[in-house]
Structure 1
Amino acid sequence: MDLQEILTLNVYVVLMAFARVGAAFAFMPGIGARTVPARARLIFAFWVAVVISPLAGPLFPPQPADAPSLLLFIGYEVTVGLFFGLFGQVMMAGLQTAGSIIAYLSSMANAFTADPLSGAQSAVTGNFLMQVGLVLLFATGMDHLMIQAVFESYSLFPPGGVLPVGDMSEFFANALNDSFIIAAQLSAPFLIVAICLQIALGLLNKLMPQLPVFFVAMPIQIALALLLLTLALPSMMMVYLGYFENGLEAFLNP
């Protein structure tokens, strides 16, 4: 794209594309993190909007003559972008939920660290899984797939159309359900080991009531959880990457 093409761009089309892309990038995993400066995020979203505007331009309705109609179109685009960005956050929340379950099962529920992505305090295992998952998303090119999914969303949500509130609500509810399912799947090995350990500790407590089972079990639980996390982490991340990719494919054209 040379300078002449940039100067002849339709400002209305770029504004409409920026409304959707900017809203999506505000919550998109990695790009929408709190550690990313807002100015850098907006500049990146603007240039993505400039790049996709020639392709998405024919899909936009003619520029409305009055301001209320223009604001209505912009609100539609912002809503669709927020829907896509929050969907990415829901998929990332599966890792945080799995880490919280692992923390509770391994006696590390009180070990909190600050999440650099959201700034909130959460379990150390959840933050670890989030960091590993985010690095793998960018290392495997999933960030390009997210940007492509934002562009492909124009075929699912044509600009100027009627917002399918019912379908969006159902899709978001299913996404929340799938997020909890993937969290349960990722933490399933730890749940099985924790159940077996609790049964063994219960039998030990019956055989030796004077033994302080709680103080004896805590180091064992932490050691087993760290060992199992070391062994199962590659498989967990492969399962999660497949889940994330399948989720983005819902926005891509077949």
Structure 2
Amino acid sequence: MLESLNYFPAFLLVLTRVTAFFVTLPLFSYRSVPSTFKVGLGFFFALVMSFSLELPLIEINGMFIMLVVKEMMVGLLIGLVAYMILTAIQIAGGFIDFQMGFAIANVIDPQTGVQSPIIGQFFYMFALLLLLSVNGHHLMLDGIFYSYELISITQAWLPLGDERVLEYVLKAVNMMFVIALQLAFPIVAILFLVDVALGIVARTVPQLNVFVVGLPLKIGVSFIAIIFSMTILFTLFYQLFELMLHTMRGLMELLGGL
């Protein structure tokens, strides 16, 4: 029993990283998930991991406080990068809403408590269900476990000043916008052609009120385009999940100094 207490500081470090992951990690960090569930899941997950890892003997001193801060930053940064990648879905929905005329009709996202576009929220719900159906949440939890192979518990610092880390994060943000454009491009392109057609009709038939006809026509065409492009969207969602997992691993390698 006394020998187990010697590993208690190391267990606290594991608990810090796991709970920091759950603060920003997609699907686990949402407001609809009760805080008691997050704390309980983090505690038992850290407890199981502490028996699977070779925990070092750590003394509680000034260095221990630095290790706690480091573990917290590791969890927050990697979870935040994963969340940023999935935000591409809502950005794509914002592009589509702007063309449809739904840009003014934002809704409150119950998961995050902020305003989000209607179509973006629709896509995001589909993406989360797809993530659960392909066991993506298990892969994210595996990422938490294998992060200790890349970032050691006893590592007292993070190379946040390294230009490779900043460049990697900027590339991830750039890829997020590229995927958002890929998601929105088919529907936005179709709506652009509808706008061109309405412009031609307004020129040839001046008696027709294009503003009255245009909005319901664009909404109807948008829903039809969304239905026929769902296969393409699901393929891009898969690519987005792969990018999210690769980005998490790449950031872990850079923070671990590899």
TM-score by length of 1: 0.89
The residue correspondences of 1:33-112 to structure 2 (distance < 5 A) are: 33-58=30-55, 60=56, 62-66=57-61, 68-112=62-106
- Alignment partner of 2:231 out of 229, 234, 237: 234
- In structure 2, the residue matched to 1:113 is 107
Question: 1:191 deviation in Å?
Answer: 1.8
Which of structure 1's runs of 4+ aligned residues deviate more than 6 A?
A: none
Check conservation: 2:86, 2:240, Cα contact below 8 A: no
- In structure 1, the residue matched to 2:256 is none
Give the partner amino acid of 2:158: L
Give the partner amino acid of 2:117: A
Question: 1:131 deviation in Å?
Answer: 0.9
> How many residues are treated as equivalent by the alignment?
246
Per the alignment, do residues 23 and 65 of structure 1 end up closer, same or farther by CA in structure 2, a change over 3 Å counting?
closer
Check conservation: 1:25, 1:41, Cα contact below 8 A: yes
- In structure 1, the residue matched to 2:14 is 17
Give the partner amino acid of 2:71: E
Question: 1:187 deviation in Å?
Answer: 0.6
Check conservation: 2:9, 2:60, Cα contact below 8 A: no
What SS does the aligned partner of 2:73 have? helix
Structure 2 segments unaligned to the other structure (5+ residues): 253-258
Question: 1:8 deviation in Å?
Answer: 6.9
Residues 25-47 of structure 1: per-residue CA shift (max 9 Å, x gap): 11111111011111110110111
Check conservation: 2:30, 2:111, Cα contact below 8 A: yes
Distance 1:200 1:191 in 2: 14
Distance 1:90 1:122 in 2: 14
Distance 1:102 1:189 in 2: 10
Question: Aligned residues: percent identity?
Answer: 27
Per the alignment, do residues 120 and 163 of structure 1 end up closer, same or farther by CA in structure 2, a change over 3 Å counting?
same
Check conservation: 1:13, 1:57, Cα contact below 8 A: no
Check conservation: 2:7, 2:58, Cα contact below 8 A: no
What SS does the aligned partner of 2:32 have? coil
Distance 2:42 2:242 in 1: 22
Distance 1:8 1:237 in 2: 49
RMSD after superposition: 2.1
Check conservation: 1:84, 1:150, Cα contact below 8 A: no
Per the alignment, do residues 209 and 160 of structure 1 end up closer, same or farther by CA in structure 2, a change over 3 Å counting?
farther
Distance 2:6 2:185 in 1: 52
Question: 1:120 deviation in Å?
Answer: 1.4
Check conservation: 1:182, 1:240, Cα contact below 8 A: no
Question: 1:160 deviation in Å?
Answer: 3.0
Residues 211-230 of structure 1: per-residue CA shift (max 9 Å, x gap): 32122110110001111111
The residue correspondences of 1:1-254 to structure 2 (distance < 5 A) are: 10-58=7-55, 60=56, 62-66=57-61, 68-161=62-155, 162-165=157-160, 166=162, 167-250=164-247, 251=249
Check conservation: 1:98, 1:187, Cα contact below 8 A: yes
What SS does the aligned partner of 1:57 have? coil
What SS does the aligned partner of 1:187 have? helix
Distance 1:158 1:228 in 2: 49
Distance 1:65 1:35 in 2: 36
Question: 1:65 deviation in Å?
Answer: 4.7
What SS does the aligned partner of 2:53 have? helix
Question: 1:197 deviation in Å?
Answer: 1.1
